Structures are given as C-alpha cells and as structure tokens.
Structure 1
C-alpha cells in the first residue's frame, strides 16, 4: 500500500436526514420524506472527497460504540481510507440532524459525541499534507498542527464551524479555508455584503498571516484566494443544486488531494470548484463526492 499523502484529522459523524418542501421555522412541524442514515462529519466528508479525488488518505479521529445502525469505520474503509488511526470510545458517535428543502438548502444540528471526547490526534506523518477542521477540540487540532509542522508536513485548516480557536492555531496554518460567515467571525468584521467582493477581500487581507494562503469559499460564486504570489479568483461551475450538504467539504478534500500531488494553487482551486459543483447535484455528503474521472471530465468538458 502506498504511504498516505493526505492525513485528515477530523470529525466522523452519522448523518440522519430528511427532505422537506420547506425548512421549518421556530415552533413549526413540517412533513418530511423518508429518513436517511449516512456517513458524515466534516472530517469524514473531506477524507472521502480526497480519496475519491485520487489521494491516498489516512484518517485521524474517533467513533463511539453506538453509531445509530451505521458502521462509520467500515463505511470509510469502503472508500479506501486508512482507519488504523481512528479510536473507538465508549458512548455515542457524533451525529448530525439534517433537513434539506426542495431548493437543496439545509439546516444542520451537530451533536459531537465521540468527536468531543477525543484526547489525542495520533502520530504525525512526515511528508503528508494534514487537513483538519474544527468539529474536534480546537486545542487538539493546534497540538497536531504543531507536531506535523515539526515533522515537515504542510497544514490546511478548514476553520469550520466558526469557534474560538487557540490563539496560535492560525499561525500554525499554511492554508486557511473559510466561508464568508467564518471570515467575518475571525476577522472581527461585520458580515460582508455577498455582492461586494472588495469588502470580502479587505476582510481576508486583515485575517491572512504572512506567508499564509487564505481561501474564501463563496458558495455559488466560487472562491477567492490570497497568497504570497497575489490574488486568485475562481468562479463556480454551473450546477443544478439538489443537496448542498457537504459541498464545502468536497471543495476542501479535492483541493487537498491536488495540492498533495504538487499541483499549483490555481490548478488545485479549479479542480476543487469542479468537484464541489458535481457534489451539489447529488443527495448526501460523503455519498455525493465525485471520483477523479468525473472531475477531470468536467474540467475537460
């Protein structure tokens, strides 16, 4: 087996979802479709996206002894992800309760379960790209970044969901990925007008650290990246959205896969945007991740 070129440190959840005609308002009960139980969690989603996009992936995370009728370890192994670094802890696995409306928009409530009880990130991997999110204890992510950087690894942080991270975490991050809401939270700014990219760029320049690449995902409008070499703007690819759950995770995983292969940032961004556009046309998060041939075909076509 080839050594992993991407290590994903992150949450492993069971997604319990239902489709609805319209998302419920506070105090409202709406009729939903058939319940689905699928693999999820930002870490698991990104690991699947990276593996499907061609990376050799190892997972670092935790699952519980109770997983709501789904075996997340077996599910991830089915996608070719190395799960030997995943701990099994007493109690419930992480879970997400998801509703998706007729336009593909969603609401999500996450219960951390075993993710919140994880105490150690496992061994560092020299030469691998480390991709993490913030559905695990942020201090654990910070300590893992410190160890991996000491071993010569590159660190990529999808700083989602928006939480209060340890002060030095961003300083240990080589590539920081946020959406507009997260950007506003971390930059200490008012949420930017989605139509005002100059405002978004000003906030991003205020957040970016020297030597760091900062990527702002803009949903249906693509992504903006600020790096030492300058500014990159990648438009989204046209897509008929069915379910946007996991689209950001698909972008992050696909981006990591291409960067780990040595692709330049502009190529990796276009690849990630193409992957995310395919993912929104399908139900589910992990189950909707496209494979390498599909992504390459979209870019060629």
Structure 2
C-alpha cells in the first residue's frame, strides 16, 4: 500500500506505526537515508498492511475484501492471477519501475540489471539446481535439524549472500520465458559470499545469481530436468520476481499449499500476470 507522510512525522515514527523494520522501509522505497518529508509518498511493505488498517480510512473494508471466501487451499496459478483492482495509483513510472543496480554474474559472465517496480524487485538470470541440504531458513538450533526444505518437494529460490533487499522466507514468482511457465516460490537460502554493498542506482556487485530447487525446476520445465534433475540447468531467460517484506515465519517450514497461497496474495497485489507481461515487454522486449 501507499502512505503519504504527514507534517511532523519522522521516518522512525512511520516504522513504529506500521510495524515495519527500518531497513525494509528503506529498501521498498529505494532510500539511501532514513529521512522523510511531509507529503512524500511511501510504499509500505506487504506484511505491515494488516496492522495499518483502520475504519477511518476505509482500509478495513479493503482487507475484508482481500480475504473474503479465501480458504487458501487452492489458488490460481501465476498465469491465471488477475490484478487486484485499483490497488495501485495509475502512474506509468510506478508500473514500469526502473533499474536500480547491476549484478555481475561471474559464472555466466553477464551483467544482470536489478529492477524495482511497485513493491517488488525482479531480474533475469539462469537457473542452477540446488540439491537437498540444510539451508539458511532451516531450524539451525539442532543438528541435523530434521526440518529441512526438500529440494524435491518445495519450490524455493536462492539469493546471493548479503543481499540486503530480500529476507529469508520472502515469497516470489519465477518464470521460464523459454517455456512460458511460472511458479510461486519462497526464499530458502543465501548463495556464496560476495561483497556487501548498498542497493543504489549504479551499484555493481558480483557473485552467483539464479538458483532454485528441483521442485521449482520441474514446475518450470527447465532444461534436462528429466530424467536426471541433478544435472538440470537453464542458461538464461529465468525471471525472478521477489516481494520484499512478505516473509511470514522465516523459520517455519512451509507446505507447497502455504507457499502458493501466500505468494499468490503478494502477487495479485503487485498486479498479477498483467503486470508480468507489461514489465517483460518494457524491460526485456519479451511477449508472453
């Protein structure tokens, strides 16, 4: 949702009001310093919306509309997801978004632009398969944890280490532009260490980007996923759309049904498949 800063309000007051972490608010609004001005419009990350609703603004009715008759057991696929009407102001620059950083993918020798549109980040890269193991999102209090995300049964993606605009458990949608298939997913792990830098215009940082589970690879039909999924690899054309601040219980193991339900909710607020087709055409000249 959007919020307009009132006279006398400070950055930290807004964080407290909406129960959002300072770093999440800064990332969602591409801020380089924790300061705000009266009249400034801010993006409030998804997870804080429930606490902000009140009858005086009419937002309580919106929350009821979002959840009415919604049992969470079956949700539309990403390709079937329609946008939530009138959720975003009709400003073309917010719909299109902009490039905010460049990731230097050393393993595939490509520069990967990172884009921000509305309250999501997205980029196009490869997909290498991650095998079952103990991931960052797992229960690290005991060894072996026994509560690992299974690569064969959970749709998850992996982000580069020290990526400061994504949290473990954040939901996303991943698209194979070659097969035109899409899937909901959850952030389960960090990749190899790379230099830690702020995400600002022109930033360049390096490492590996573009990894997912066997289950996700099957959903997207990446190359060579059958008969030997451990060798599967899509060299490029994989689009990762990530909803920062959408994590709900970072250490809680999620079922596929829960991941689909929660990721779908964030996705339809962002604009659904209509928004996907728009940004792919605008930034990559791809028509789905």
TM-score bin (small chain): under 0.3
TM-score by length of 2: 0.25
In proportion to residue count, which structure has more helix?
1
Q: Higher RCO, 1 or 2 (CA under 8 Å, sep at least 6)?
A: 2
TM-score by length of 1: 0.25
